[in-house]
Amino acid sequence: MSSKNIFKPNCKACKRLASYLSEVKLKYPEYHCAPVASFGDENAQLLIVGLAPGLHGANACGRPFTGDASGNLLYKTLFDFGFSNQAHSSSLNDGLQLKNCRISNAVKCLPPENKPTAKEINQCNHFLAAEINNLTDNAVIMVLGSIAHQAVLKAYGLKLSTTKFGHNKCYQLADGKMLISSYHCSRYNIQTKRLTAEMFADVFKTIRSIIN
């Protein structure tokens, strides 16, 4: 089943998020302000799962981690490790192409204050589960932050205590895929040095050692 048939661009299942998107659309009429589809190679071995679209980033243009600070380190590192044809992601027309990589989010719609509720994460989880189901058996799932980590466990029907979130921590899933965790590449984490470029690169070294 293709992920094109899974994603619902007009989904309004979460009333709070749908209402918030309507409010944002009034303020920024040129913004996407709708569920944001995954981006990249549909047959990729690497799936990266973030939290949710950013207000002036993915929510504005309709592509994950594009146009905001959280995407700067991500796309540069993807380029450095051969998963992208360029180091920057600025707009839908910038020519960016991912190689053997796909980027998604645990929640497809912009949440107020970038904080989805547990109910909203669960409501959106079947989209993530279907996308994971489409991956090859030897795929790597990289999660950015603890919420994305938990969302993947939920997609597998696993207890959240199955494996704890930890930076550059790996967990072998029952279907043969590998789950690898990383601190989120947010502006806050980078400014506070919770995540450095070197730490982020270490995760991709691990990923490359598996995929190669």
Domain of residue 87 covers 13-211
**Residue 96 placed within a domain:** yes
**Residue 8 placed within a domain:** no
**What's the pLDDT tens digit per position in 42-67?**
999 999 999 999 999 999 999 999 99
The H or E element that residue 73 is part of is helix 70-80
**Residue 2 placed within a domain:** no
Contact 144, 51 (CB under 8 A): yes
Q: How far apart are CA 76 and CA 201, in angstroms?
A: 10
**What's the pLDDT tens digit per position in 63-122?**
999 998 999 999 999 999 999 999 999 999 999 999 999 999 999 999 999 999 999 999
- Specify the pLDDT at position 212: 79
The token pair that represents 120 in the structure block: 């909203």
**Residue 67 placed within a domain:** yes
Q: How far apart are CA 42 and CA 81, in angstroms?
A: 19
Overall average pLDDT of the 149-158 stretch: 97
- Specify the pLDDT at position 2: 43
**Residue 193 placed within a domain:** yes
Scanning the structure block, which residue is given the tokens 């967990």?
A: 171
**Residue 1 placed within a domain:** no
**Residue 104 placed within a domain:** yes
- Specify the pLDDT at position 27: 98
The token pair that represents 30 in the structure block: 């040129």
What confidence tier does 155 reach under pLDDT thresholds 50, 70, 90?
A: very high
Residue 120 belongs to domain with CATH number: 3.40.470.10
